[in-house]
Amino acid sequence: MTDCTDIAKRDAWHPKLLVPPSFAPGSFALGCVRRHRIGAELWVHLVDHPYVARACATRLALAILPLLVLSACSSSGRAAGSFEPGEELPGGETTNTLLLGENAFIRPASNIAEENEPLFFSGNSFFNQPWVQAPASTESRDGLGPLFNARSCAACHFRDGRGRPPLEPEEPFLGLLLRLSIDGQSEHDVDQPERDVDALGHGQPIAEPSYGLQLQPFSVADVPAEARPEVHYQEIHGTYADGEPYTLLDPTYTISDLSYGPMHEDLRLSPRVAPAVVGLGLLEAIDQVALLELEDSEDVDGDGISGRANWVWDVVQQTWSLGRFGWKAEQPTVRQQSAAAFSGDIGITTTLFPAEGCTEAQPECDSALSGGAPELSDRLLLRVEVYTRLLAVPMRIRANDPEVLRGKQLFHDAQCASCHVPSYVTGADSDLAEVQNQRIWPYTDLLLHDMGEGLSDHRSSFAASGSEWRTPPLWGLGYIEVVNDHNRLLHDGRARGVSEAILWHGGEAQGSKEFFESMPAEDREALVAFINSL
């Protein structure tokens, strides 16, 4: 049989293929490297041709190495603007290289350990299947509400992807929720955490007295839903330096049909879209030290970009921890983030958040039947946690495209990478071996940055002010349109695509935005193409 690597080399330049020659070397590397199971638990990286691979497994594993080095050598010069080997696999060995398209986000980590598969699939089931009203025969799955935003995680994170705001005023809110609070923050004393062990006494927002911490537009039978939210947009017109006009949508929210009396006069409101949930275990596995090194609270380096950690309360450890998850980095772990979402969004209690969250103004909510105490056991919460931690980031299929690489250079030129920090090697401490020691490409620093008045929600949470938001990871962003059939970005989904999202950047990112505005159209397109290639 012909040496497989020879075939590969020859075909990389085959004239019949519709691939630009400049795309070929990198694409070879990403197309061909693949896990292959040889025996129960052994996995090797192989040329991606299963039936060939089965025939010459080990030989190929060795033969591929020089070619990978070859493609590495071809990317000379600075990292920015050139192809960096491995960047086509943003999740390292966890990266999904199989089903893409609408299924791009549904796969487990490619290196998932056999013993974690049952946990992953159980978690998948509890993430996807709707919760039902108690009591029901499916005892593990009842306890919905009494007040809720959605019946399942997947209702908002559809196909493990991203939610969007309603596109018509009468459309219900799903995939977008409104956080509520009144002016101020609960006691916040970093030096004396033991002073108040109440889970809501560490600098969190103060709940709206009658409606709680978020608006829940749905309810089970016999309990009035809280209210009906609507979003309306005002168009804002602007022009790029080259004269091309653009339009942005500025949202305002109205809340009507209030079932539990008027809202507090100092109401604060923060809209939050459901983000895609891939790669969360990898983000959790980034060494805290590496992230804190990126902090520059006082902007000592004078680049106009600071970056601060959000220190938040870990309800399991009963200690202050670095916030990593949520639009304001308000949650320290995937576990706490998941439990908080079960509690606030679906009305499912856990040992982390054992209360249903009914306010004194909501007696029907308080007396509704429970699905158990807690409704989601620690055992099942662990499964959902493992599931979300091991959902794989999809491979990049245009990583070595010339336009994309030009866009990558512009991304760095515009200082986007100062906050959207491209790459890390994860630590070795995670309890999931799959996410340890992986070279990953999330494009985030997980820190808070002042994004300016235009994006401010005027609502403080822990260390985050109203105008501060966590840098969201950009990986997988190009797949959202295919997976979720929309292109809405930013914390409230106001931006229609990447360009609008960039144009909303202010505060520390004002300079980057202006740089983008001043670019010629073809440069802007290249930059957007790069971000959409992630």
Binders of other proteins in range 225-284 (CB under 8 A) = none
Output 158 or 443, the one with its CB closest to other proteins: 158
Q: Which of residues 164-223 bind other proteins (CB under 8 A)?
A: 172, 174, 218, 221
- Looking at beta carbons only, is 28 or 504 nearer to other proteins? 28
Least distance to other proteins, CB of residue 52, Å: 7
* Paired strand residues for 449: 469
Which of the ranges 149-157, 246-254, 280-288, 290-298 carries the binding residues for other proteins, by CB under 8 A?
Answer: 149-157
From candidates 3, 65, 117, 431, binder to other proteins by CB under 8 A: 117
Distance, first Cα to last Cα, the chain: 37
Which residues on adjacent β-strands are paired with residue 322? Answer: 311
Q: How far is CA 50 from CA 27, 44, 55, 125, 201, in A?
A: 18, 12, 9, 30, 56
For residues 158-169, one letter each, b for 16 or more C-beta atoms within 10 angstroms of the residue's C-beta and e for the rest, the string is bbbbbbbbbeee
* Residue 233: CB minimum distance to other proteins, A: 22
Please, which residue, 2 or 76, has the CB nearer to other proteins? 2
Structure tokens belonging to residue 264: 């507090």
Q: Which is nearer to other proteins, 80 or 136 (CB)?
A: 136
Residue placing its CB nearer to other proteins in the complex, 174 or 455: 174
- Binding window for other proteins (CB under 8 A); candidates: 92-100, 314-322, 335-343, 436-444: 92-100
Mask for 379-418, x = binds other proteins (CB under 8 A): -x--x-------------xx--x-x---------------
HEC letters along 77-101: CCCCCCCCCCCCCCCHHHCECCCCH
Position 378 contacts other proteins (CB under 8 A): no
225 phi, psi to nearest 5 deg = -65, 155
- Least distance to other proteins, CB of residue 145, Å: 9
When the beta carbons of 97 and 306 are compared against other proteins, the nearer one is 97
- Asked if 68 interacts with other proteins (CB under 8 A), we say no
Shortest reach from residue 6's CB to other proteins, in Å: 10
Which of 85, 93, 96, 141 touches other proteins (CB under 8 A)?
141
Pair 250, 233: CB distance under 8 Å: yes
Q: How far is the CB of 443 from other proteins (least distance, A)?
A: 19
Our CB check for other proteins shows the closer of 87 and 330 to be: 87
Span interacting with other proteins, options 207-215, 311-319, 352-360, 480-488, rule CB under 8 A: 480-488
DSSP label at residue 396? P
- Minimal CA–CA distance to 329: which of 419, 416, 254? 419
Segment 27 to 46, residues that bind other proteins, using CB under 8 A: 27-28, 30-32, 34, 37
User: Residues of 190-222 as b/e, b for ≥16 C-beta within 10 angstroms?
Assistant: eeebeeeeebeebbbbbbbebbbbbbbbbbbee
**Using CA atoms, how far apart are residues 155 and 484, in angstroms rounded to an integer?**
11
CA dihedral (517, 484, 445, 298) in degrees, to 10, reads: 50
Per CB under 8 A, the segment of 22-30, 72-80, 184-192, 439-447 that binds other proteins is 22-30
For the CA atoms of 191, 197, 200, 202, the dihedral, rounded to the nearest 10 degrees, stands at 0
- Which residues lie below 8 Å from residue 511, measured CB to CB, with a gap of 6+? 304, 415
Residues 6 or more apart whose Cβ sits within 8 Å of residue 188: 202, 203, 462
Q: Which amino acid is at 197?
A: V
Q: How many residues line the site for other proteins (CB under 8 A)?
A: 80
Site string (329-368) toward other proteins, x via CB under 8 A? ----------------------------------------
Q: Is the peptide bond before 50 cis (omega within 30 degrees of 0)?
A: no
Return the residues of window 120-139 that contact other proteins according to CB under 8 A.
Answer: 120-122, 124-126, 128-130, 132-139
DSSP symbol at 207: P
Alpha helices in 439-486 (DSSP H): 480-484
Neighbouring-strand partners of residue 239: 245
Q: What residues contact residue 416 under an 8 Å CB cut-off, 6+ apart?
A: 512
The Cα–Cα gap between 27 and 42 comes to 26
By beta-carbon proximity to other proteins, the closer residue of 455 and 528 is 528
Candidate list 17, 167, 197, 428; residue touching other proteins; CB under 8 A: 17
Is 176 within 8 Å of 233 (Cβ atoms)? no
Collapsing DSSP states into helix, strand and coil, what is residue 391? strand
CB of 468 vs other proteins, minimal distance in Å = 30
Shortest spacing between CB 80 and other proteins, in angstroms: 21
Rounded least distance, CB 67 to other proteins, Å: 10
Segment interacting with other proteins, rule: CB under 8 A, options 16-24, 178-186, 300-308, 429-437? 16-24
* 346 DSSP assignment: I
Please, what is the minimum distance in Å from the beta carbon of residue 234 to other proteins?
Answer: 26
Closest separation in Å from C-beta 427 to other proteins = 29
| Nearer Cβ to other proteins (211/479) | 479
Binding mask 154-173 for other proteins (x = CB under 8 A): -xx-x-------------x-
